[in-house]
Amino acid sequence: MLFCTKLATMDSIKLHDKHFTPFISAQEIDNAVKKVAQDIETDLKGEQPLFIGILNGSFMFVADFVRHYKDNCEVSFVKLSSYQGTSSTGKIKELVGLQENIEGRTVVILEDIIDTGNTLKEIYQIFKDKKVKTLKIATLFFKPEVFKKDLKIDYIGLSIPNKFIVGYGLDYDGLGRNLSDIYQLKTPN
C-alpha cells in the first residue's frame, strides 16, 4: 500500500457550488495503479482472470490498470443499480451488464473507491451464489477511517483521509470525472 502526499503546486477548481484543492497527482495515481496491477499479476500467475470494473467511477482506473497488467486477462464492466425489492427487503442492488458466464472463473472486482463499504457488501452478496473459483477485490482508493465492515479487501492502491475527492473517474454530482489528478473538497480548516 502506498500513501499519498499533498500537492501544493496546482490550482483549485470549482464544480457546481463547491471548491476543490489539488490532492493527488496523476503520477502518484499511476504509481499506485501500477503497483496494484503488478501485485495482482504476481498473485494470479498461471490464471486468466476476468477483471470487472464497477461503473461509472472505475472506468479510468480500469483502463490504466489493464495497460499495466501484462498477462492474459479479460475485462468487463458492470453497473450496480438499485431497485425496490419487496416491502420486507426494501432497496436491493442488482448487477447490470454482466454478459460473461463467470462460473469457475477467477474474478477480480475493480472499484474506484471504498468508503463506508456498503457497496462492497452488496458486491459480496451478489457474487455469493455465482460459483466463481476465486473472488478478489481491488480498490484504487480506500478511506480507512470510515470503513467499519468486516469484509476482505485484497488490494488497496492508496489509503486516504476521510475527505470527499473528485477526479480520475470520481465525480461530484456528475462533474470532475475527466480530471487526471485527484482534488479534495475544500473545507474551512
Active site members: 115
- What's the full length of the chain, in residues? 189
Note whether 139 binds ligand IMP by CB under 6 A.
no
- Contacting residues for 129 by C-beta, under 8 A, at least 6 apart: none
Q: Which of 116, 125, 178, 180 binds ligand IMP (CB under 6 A)?
A: 116
Q: Does 178 engage in binding with ligand IMP (CB under 6 A)?
A: no
Quote the CA–CA distance of 55 and 99 in Å, as a whole number.
15
Residue closer to ligand IMP, measured from CB, 39 or 171: 171
Helix 26-43 to helix 59-68 angle, to the nearest 10 degrees? 60
Residues 96-115 that bind Mg ion (CB under 5 A): 112
Q: Is 59 in the site for ligand IMP (CB under 6 A)?
A: no
Residue 158 interface partner, choices ligand IMP, Mg ion, none, CB cut-off 5-8 Å depending on type: none
Give the span between the Cα atoms of 57 and 70, in whole angstroms: 23
Partner interacting with residue 181 (select from ligand IMP, Mg ion, none; CB below 5-8 Å by kind): none
Stretch 86-115: interaction string toward ligand IMP, x if CB under 6 A: --------------------------xxxx
Is the alpha carbon torsion for 98, 165, 135, 131 positive or negative? negative
| CB closer to ligand IMP out of 46 and 174 | 174
Spatial contact of 107 and 53, defined as CB atoms under 8 Å apart: no
